[in-house]
Amino acid sequence: MSDKVAFLLDGEEVLTYDRTQSLPDKQREYLDQLDEQLKQGFVLANEKIDKPNLQQKTQFIALNLVHSLSKEDDNNAIMMFSYLVNIMPDLKQAKAKLKETKVGQQVGVEFIFDEVKPAGQKIEFRPDSSKTKLH
């Protein structure tokens, strides 16, 4: 089992979190404050969420993470990803995809909780009938 959690944006790994490294107290304190703020509610998809559940929190944070990456606000993106990893202890990978639409940009996020398998190697089959005969 890997202790590393990856965040992919449009198929490219942009952030990696190492669970073996403990968070400094200041960062842990910030994540606790962030969680308290989220408990007070927020607007998600033009809907006011007064008492967000875990899924709503993770959606909100993931969208803010992607927004931070698009604004090149790496510190905020790292904190958002740290929050996601810490509230979802079984998270192995998060994948975000951007899609341009008529009304703007849409973001889709998928959370992977089972073991992430590395990409396989492409093998090309080239039959050569003069060398191989089946019996």
Q: What is the pLDDT of residues 42-95, one digit of tens each?
A: 998 889 999 999 999 999 999 999 999 999 999 999 999 999 999 999 999 999
Is 119 a domain residue?
no
Beta-carbon contacts of residue 104 (< 8 Å; ≥ 6 apart): none
Is 126 a domain residue?
no
Residue 123 has pLDDT above 60, yes or no: no
Convert the pLDDT of each residue in 15-29 to its tens digit.
Answer: 999 999 999 999 999
CA distance 95 to 29: 26
Is 122 a domain residue?
no
Is 118 a domain residue?
no
Owning domain of residue 71: 4-112
Residue 32 has pLDDT above 70, yes or no: yes
Residue 114: band (very low, low, confident or very high) from pLDDT cuts 50, 70, 90 = confident
Higher pLDDT, 106 or 20: 20
pLDDT for position 125: 53
Is 11 a domain residue?
yes
Is 54 a domain residue?
yes
Is 80 a domain residue?
yes
Is 120 a domain residue?
no
CA distance 133 to 49: 67
Residue 134: band (very low, low, confident or very high) from pLDDT cuts 50, 70, 90 = low
**Tally of domains in the chain:** 1
DSSP assignment of 82-117, as one string? Answer: HHHHHH-TT--EEEEEEEEETTEEEEEEEEE-SPPP
